[in-house]
Chain A
C-alpha cells in the first residue's frame, strides 16, 4: 500500500516536473573512448575531456583562456626564493556520491580538505602509495613535467592549508598544477574502495568535486554525467545532464549534429567547414590553436643519428602543399616548436625551405646510400593539430620518393601507437602537441632529455645537453625576459639539429548548434561545459 502511494506520488511529481520544466540535456559528440577516468594516468585530450567535468584542481585555467585562477585553493603565497608555495584551501567543497552498477557505492561524509590534495600528489609521486601501481601505474605527465625531481615535499599544515616545497625554483608550477594530471580526487573514496578491496574501481568510476558527477560509461558508446547541485569551487553547470555520445567518425558526428542528435561536436573535418558555415542551424567558431604537428625522427636509429640526414628530410618535404591540401588552409607552416602567438617565439629562425636538390646533396654528404628504406608512422585518428595524418604521410611518401627514400607507411590502434612511439620503436613518426598551460616550457619539454627515456613523450629520443641545460635553467627563473632569451637560443639549437620536421600549427574550429550559449573556446584545445546553456 505504502509503495503504491509512493509510486503514485513520484509519478505525479514526474508529470508535474516535465510540465513545468523539461530537463535540459547537453549532448556532446566526442571523438573517442577514454582510457579511464583518472587524468593522472592519461596523456590524451580524449581522456582528459572525459574526466574534466568531474574534477577540480588546486589552480584552474579561466574558461576560454590560459590565465591561472584559484580552483580548490582559495589563495596562495610564494616564499622569497620561489621554492615554497603555501595554499589556502576552499572550505565547504562537497564531493559527488556514486552508485555504480555492480560496484561499491560511495557517499561522502566529509568536505574536501588537505588529505585529498596529498592523495593527488602521493599517488603519482610515492611508489609505496597503495594506489600507485593501480591501472598500470604510469604517470607520464607527472614524470615528463619533472615533478618527481622537483617536488621536495607536500605537507599538510592543517586541514585547509597545504605546503608544497620544491627543490629548485620552478616558474610554471602554478600553471602546471592547473593541468589535468593534477586533478584532485577524493581520498575518502579511495579509502572506502581499499576497504572493499576494489581498488580498480577508482579509475573507472570517478569521484571529484567538479560541476558534473559521473553516472555511467559504456565503452565506444556513451558517457553520462549529471549536474552537481552542490558544486561551488568553479562555475556551476547550467544544464541538468551532460552526455558524451562517442562517435569516432567525423562524418557521422556531423550528420548527428545536423540531425540535432548532439549539440556540439568535436573536431570537424576541414572539408566539411564551408558547408557548416552556411548552415543557419549551426554556429562555427575558430581560434588559432596553441599546438604543433610534427614528424619526429628517432635519432637513436641510424641514419637519423646524423644531423645532415635529418636536415635533408626537412628540405625534402613540401610543407606548403600539406597546409593547402590537408589543412585546407586552416593552419600555418610551422618553423619553431611553439606557435608564433606565444611569448619567446624566435622570429630570427627561418626553418627549412622546400629544396629537394639541397636534400639530395645533404644525403650524399652524410654518406647515405639511396634508396634508403624508412618507416613513416601516421596516427590512425584525427587530432586538433592534424586533420588527416594518413594523407600527410602519403604526401611525404611521394616527396621522399623523389630524393631516393622509400617510406613504408605504418600505423597502429591509437593507444598502441602512442605507447610504441614513446618506447621509440619507430624510425620516424608523426605526432603533435596541444599546449596545456600556455607556458613555452610546456612545448619545449617535448624535446628535453627527461622525455627521451623509453616511454617518455620526446619521440625524437634526442637529448642535447645545450638544449636541456637551458630548458632546466629557464624553468627555475621567474623573470620572463630572461626566460624568453633562453628559449630563443633553444629554438636556434633545435632548428640547427633538426630532430624533427615541424609541420604546422592548425586553426582549431568548434561547431555547435545555435541553441548552445556561453561556450568559450579554449586555446588549450579542451572542452568544458560548465557555464554552457541551452536556449
Chain B
C-alpha cells in the first residue's frame, strides 16, 4: 500500500508546495494598488488616533482666546503655531482633527465589533433553528431595514438621549440586519453541503457544528462586510454628530466640528473644509481597503 502511493507520487510531475494562505492573500491583495494605498492611509490614521495624546500639539479643548479663527499656515496670516488654524473658539484644528480620528475610529470599530458578534450569533441561531425562530428573526430584521437608517438612528438617540455610547447603540442597531442576513444566508447554503452532513453523522454537537464547522466557511463575505461596515458607521456617526445628536460638546467629533463651522462657510472656509476632508479621506481609504479585501478573499473574484 505504502509502496503504491510512493510509486504514484514518483510517477507524476512534482507538485509545487501549496502557497501559505497568508502569502497568497497578500499576493492578490498587493496587486490592487488602490487597496494598498487605502491600507497605508488607514494605518496612518489608526496610528494617529492611538497616539493622539503624543502627536497632537495641544489639548483638543484648550481655547486660545488670543487666536480665534486663526488661518492655516499656507493661508494669508497663518503661522506655524496653529498648522491647520483654529476654530470659532480658538481651539487648534489639527489637535481636534487628530482626537476626532480617535472618536470616529472608536465608533466605527466598536459598531463593527458589536454588530459582528451579535450578527453572527443571531444569524447562526436563525439558520440552525429554522421555523418560528427563523421567521421572527428575519421579519424583525426586515422591519429594521424598512425604516431609513438615519431616521432609525435619530429615533434611538432621541429615546436614549444624545451621548457617545448611545450613538454607538443607535448605529449598531441600524447596521445589524446586514450582518444577520449575510450570516444566515451563507450558513443555510453551507448547511446543505456534504461535509456538514458528514460532520453530523460523525456526531458533532450543534454548537460545535455551527461555530467550528459552518462559521469558518462563511467568514470571507463577513470580513468584507465588516470592513465596509466601519466606514458606514463612521459616516452615520458623523451625520448624527452634525445633527447635534452624537458626541456632546466639547468632545471633538468630525461631524460636530462640521456642524459648528457651518456659519463660517463663507468667511473662513477651511473651518468646514478640514473636518469634511478628514471624513472623506478616512471613508474612501477604508472603502478601498474593503474592496481589496474582497478581491483577495472572494474565490469567485480571484484571478486564476
Contacts and interface: CB of A to CB of B under 8 A. Distances in A.
Contacts of A271: 263-264, 266-268
A397 interface: yes
A183 B63 CA distance: 47
B244 A411 contact: yes
B267 A275 contact: yes
A272 interface: yes
Contacts of A397: 249-250
Interface in B243-302: 244, 248-250, 260, 262-268
B263 A388 contact: yes
B68 interface: yes
Interface in B14-63: 61-63
A269 B261 CA distance: 12
Give the contact-size bracket for chain B. 20 to 34
B260 A251 contact: no
Contacts of B248: 408-409
A321 B88 CA distance: 12
A398 interface: yes
B90 interface: yes
B89 interface: yes
A325 B244 contact: no
Contacts of A324: 68
B303 interface: no
Nearest to A411: B244
Given A250-B263, A391-B260, A398 B63 contact: yes
Most buried by B among A269, A324, A380, A398: A398
A395 B266 contact: no
Given A251-B262, A325-B88, A325-B89, A390 B249 contact: yes
B261 to A, nearest CB: 10
Given A318-B65, A397-B249, A272 B267 contact: yes
A189 to B, nearest CB: 38
Contacts of B61: 398
Nearest to B262: A251
What secondary structure prevails in chain A residues at the interface with B? helix
Contacts of A274: 267
A35 interface: no
Contacts of B68: 324-325
Give the contact-size bracket for chain A. 20 to 34
A394 B249 contact: yes
A393 interface: yes
A83 B264 CA distance: 54
Contacts of B63: 395, 398
A390 B260 contact: yes
Given A318-B65, A325-B88, A275 B266 contact: yes
Nearest to A252: B262
B88 A391 contact: yes
Contacts of A388: 263
Interface string A368-400: 000000000000100000001011011101100
Nearest to A376: B249
Contact of B89 (A269, A391, A409): A391
Contacts of B265: 251
B263 A321 contact: no
A489 B38 CA distance: 69
Interface in B48-98: 61-63, 65, 68, 88-90
B249 A395 contact: no
Contacts of A393: 249
Contacts of A318: 65
Contacts of A250: 263
Contact of A409 (B62, B90, B249): B249
A411 B244 CA distance: 9
A272 B266 contact: yes
B249 A325 contact: no
Nearest to B265: A251
A408 B268 CA distance: 28
A275 B264 CA distance: 11
Given A393-B249, A394-B89, A398-B250, A251 B263 contact: yes
A64 B160 CA distance: 46
Most buried by B among A250, A391, A394, A408: A394
A272 B249 contact: no
Contacts of A275: 266-267
B65 A325 contact: yes
Given A391-B260, A393-B249, A325 B90 contact: yes
A249 to B, nearest CB: 8
Interface in B182-199: none
A250 B207 CA distance: 58
B70 to A, nearest CB: 12
Interface string A435-449: 000000000000000
A394 B267 contact: no
Contacts of A394: 89, 249-250
Interface in A327-363: none
Contacts of A398: 61-63, 89, 250
Contacts of A390: 249, 260
Which 3 residue pairs of A and B lie closest in terms of their CB atoms, listed nearest first?
A: A398-B63, A321-B65, A269-B263
27 contacts: A250-B263, A251-B262, A251-B263, A269-B263, A271-B266, A271-B268, A272-B263, A274-B267, A275-B267, A321-B65, A324-B68, A325-B65, A325-B89, A380-B244, A388-B263, A390-B249, A390-B260, A391-B88, A391-B260, A394-B89, A394-B249, A395-B63, A397-B249, A397-B250, A398-B63, A409-B248, A409-B249
Interface of B: 61-63, 65, 68, 88-90, 244, 248-250, 260, 262-268
Interface of A: 249-251, 269, 271-272, 274-275, 318, 321, 324-325, 380, 388, 390-391, 393-395, 397-398, 408-409, 411
